[in-house]
Amino acid sequence: MAETKEKSLSDEKPKPRVRPIVRLGIFLISHSFHVSVVCCTAGVLALFLLPVLAKNTYISENALMPGSASPMLSNQHVSDGNRLVKDLTNPNSKSSETGIESHKIIAQYMLDLGAEVSFHKFHPQMNQFHPLHFFSSPDSGKIQENYSCSSYGINTVGIIRAPRGDGKEAIVLVTPYNALKSGFGEALSLGIAYSVFSLLTQVTWLAKDIIWLVADSQYGEYAAVAAWLREYQTPKFSSLSAPNAEMCPDVNNLFELKGHSISGSKFSNSFRRAGTMAAALVLKVRDQNEQFEDTISIYAEASNGQMPNLDLINVVNYLAVHRQGLRVNVEKLWSLLNSSWLKSLGEIFESLAKVAKSLYPKWKFGIPATEYVEGTATLASSLYYQALGVPTGPHGAFRDYQVDAITLEISPKFSLDKVWRNDILLRGGRLIEGVIRSVNNLLEKFHQSFFLYLLTSPSKFVSVGVYMIAFALLIAPLPMVAASLYVDANSSSKRSKGDSSTPSAITDTDEHSIAIRSWRWLNSAKLVFIVHLWGAIVSLLPYFISQIPDCSPTTSFMIWVLLSILSLLTLNSVLASPLACAKATQEKEWALVKSVTISSVFIGLGLMSVINFATAEIGALLMVPMCLLAQPLKLDVRAGTLRSFCRMICNLVLGHIAFPPAAFFLLKGMLDGFGNANVGDFWMWVESLWAWNSATYLFIGMVQLPCWVLCISILFHTC
């Protein structure tokens, strides 16, 4: 019965049914305008909702158990640390020009504790633009050509071996220290580290080795840590390093002196290693502080928006707040804190939440307006630093080797009181001890908690699953609009042709014309490809410009702009113009260009969201409206309606904002004020981007700039 029924049904409906997903697709494409308006609005709104949707952090890894053990750091250890601080701040120790004396003091202190000590001599490597080194791992085989004996740094490294451990893992504690011009803060950070170190030489519960690295920060904190890490992770098996050391008598002297004075001790000339690093903590103490409380700032962003595992931040936050009574800060965009529009937005959300709660008591998603403003400021800063792709401290060097690391900056309420100093040594030391003991409990790498997240406060985060929604909503209209534009362009040209020719002629040339029409998008694709090629060339230009000696940032920037324009014109004339001219007369040519542009932007944003979400999000905020609104100005002028006028204005504004340098200056002006804006600043900024191998640089050069050029070309299209 059923079969016959089905048969009769199929007989009645001979034409194949369109599958629901295809019908949905067709519906979305045909209503692409409304869909894109709704999606973009929802995307922006979702971004502003993120602070409301943020969840409280929690310790995800069972093994960590922070704070379950009572701190063992006693006043004895604190007084040890105090002794070191006194010795280091003693003016006698600064007599030497190279600051070797203070390194000797530190090494001596470490040796007295029974730790293994070695010096690591390094030549600071200037960060240079290597076009082929993007995303590649740091290279040990880099040939250092022009170093001299006058420019080297000395890292002092102390290692405690876990008494019953297997020596396969290690925890690293880093204190940047500049022996030449150290402030009191740096000495204090050394004091804290030393007091913890002296405790750890006595305890029986160590499962991982402890490495204390006193990084010589006279060439920058990052460079010293990165040099040590490079040596640690990628050992050199060449004989090159031996003569290097001999060539510099000063360093040799240092080694020898040590060797003689403490014979039979654990001092060693060779590079010392422990196991793989489980985690690293960079400890700093700030010199001046305006705060009224002892606060501790956490810096976590590494290169390309990589973050350490959230558990590490959680552990520090938990111990600092609940055990040591320190206030924990993460970076905020301070300028956002006072903005009134954000406050009113927060109030709107708050009142909405209240209404929702009165409707259904279980809906509790609202947060107070002040909290919302703070959350947004933190979130914005989190987005900004991740998007920049430049590490916010020496911890970034560890992330390159997949080691979870953060920088802790203690800002004590400043006074020279001895009681106060002991207090900060005790609390800071106990915090470090707690974190080390917690990480010591770890059995595997940090893996339980999130790696992809944005912080809205030290104890609140937005995970990847939530923030991707905002981004996905923002870029969702792109393929739909591209498809609808393509369909429109094809159908309109078909119609225009169909009107002009007789029906008999159509049947004759139909196949041929369809074949040609369906490949028409290739012209636009070629144009888009050429512009992207140009983008790649523009991204490579700074490498050559930076080779020009004695060039101020402003002139470099000017050269860059000139060369870029020149190359664009050349490329256009050589590759694009002969065909473009022939096709330019075609109707709706701009629509096809726009369609292909949007597709390429979609691909670019999608790729970038995988590499660095924050960059993609900010890029999408700028580029998506521009791409979607772009329409030849001529058409708008011709139409003359209010709507087209509005669109024209929007286009012009967006066309200005989305230009990367303009966006940079706007952002800089908003953050720092417009007073001291300089053309050269952009060059400096770009230089820092490529120096840190930031993918943001590639994104700007190869996605955003071509997209802007294409949109501008659409705006000024002659149709």
Partner 1 sequence: METFINPKSLFHLLLLPCLLLYSSIAYNSSPVEAAMHTNNWAVLVCTSRFWFNYRHMANTLSLYRTVKRLGIPDERIILMLADDMACNTRNKYPAQVFNNENHRLNLYGDNVEVDYRGYEVTVENFLRVLTGRHETAVPRSKRLLSDEGSHILLYMTGHGGDEFLKFQDSEELQSHDLADAVKQMKEKHRFKELLIMVDTCQAATLFNQLQSPGVLAIGSSMKGENSYSHHLDSDVGVSVVDRFTYYTLAFFERLNIYDNASLSSLFSSYNPSLLMSTAYYRKDLYKRRLEEVPVTNFFGSVMETIHTDAAYKALSRRNSGRFEDEMSLDQSVHHIERRMLIKVNDGYEIHDINPEGEEGASKCPWSTFRNKFQKAENVDSLVNYGLVAMIPLLVISTWLVQ
Residues forming the site for partner 1 (CB under 8 A): 62-63, 65, 68-70, 162-166, 203-207, 437, 440-441, 443
Q: How far apart are CA 603 and CA 619, in angstroms?
A: 13
Nearest partner of 232 among 447, 442, 407, 398, judged by Cα: 398
CB of 314 to partner 1, least distance (A): 16
Q: Return the closest-CA partner of residue 56 out of 409, 279, 318, 308.
A: 318
Number of Cβ within a 10 Å radius of residue 198: 26
From the CB of 118, what's the least distance to partner 1, in Å? 24
C-alpha to C-alpha distance for 583 and 590, rounded to whole angstroms: 11
Beta carbon of residue 205, minimum distance to partner 1 (angstroms, whole number): 5
- In one letter, which amino acid is 591? A
SS3 124: coil
Q: In the complex, what is the shortest distance from the CB of residue 434 to partner 1, in angstroms, rounded to a whole number?
A: 10
Do 226 and 280 contact (CB within 8 A), yes or no? no
Write the DSSP assignment of 63-85 as a string of letters: TT-TT-SPP---HHHHHHHHHHH
Query: C-beta of 170: minimal distance to partner 1 in Å?
Result: 13
CB of 171 to partner 1, least distance (A): 13
Nearer to partner 1 by Cβ, of 107 and 436: the residue is 436
CB of 233 to partner 1, least distance (A): 24
Residue 121 is given by DSSP the state E
Closest to partner 1 by CB, 179 or 435: 435
Nearer to partner 1, 161 or 520 (CB): 161
Handedness of CA 113, 116, 118, 120 (dihedral sign): negative
Q: Which is nearer to partner 1, 98 or 440 (CB)?
A: 440
Residue number, 166 or 672, with CB nearest to partner 1 = 166
Question: How far is the first Cα of the chain from the last one, in angstroms, to the nearest whole number?
Answer: 63
Q: How far is the CB of 448 from partner 1 (least distance, A)?
A: 12
- Sign for the CA dihedral angle at 511, 513, 516, 517 comes to negative
In the complex, minimum distance from the CB of residue 70 to partner 1, in angstroms, rounded to a whole number: 4
- The residue among 139 and 166 lying less far from partner 1, judged by its C-beta, is 166
Six-digit token string for 31: 């209503």
Query: Using H for helix, E for strand and C for coil, what is the string for 500-523?
Result: HCCHHHHHHHHHHHHHHHHCCHHH
Are 193 and 175 a contacting pair, CB within 8 Å? yes
679-691 and 660-672 helices cross at what angle (nearest 10)? 100
Distance (Å, whole) CA 356 – CA 520:
53
Residue from 83, 73, 3 nearest 428 by CA: 73
Q: How far is the CB of 79 from partner 1 (least distance, A)?
A: 23
- Strand-pairing partners, residue 116, are 159
Surface-to-core class of residue 184, CB atoms within 10 Å of its CB (0-12 exposed, 13-18 middle, 19+ buried): middle
Minimum Å gap between C-beta 318 and partner 1 is 15
Nearer to partner 1, 205 or 685 (CB): 205
Contact between 162 and 205 (Cβ < 8 Å): no
Output the smallest distance, CB 465 to partner 1, in A.
25
Q: CA nearest 190: which of 102, 123, 121?
A: 102
DSSP conformation class of 271:
P
> How far apart are alpha carbons 387 and 382 in whole angstroms?
8
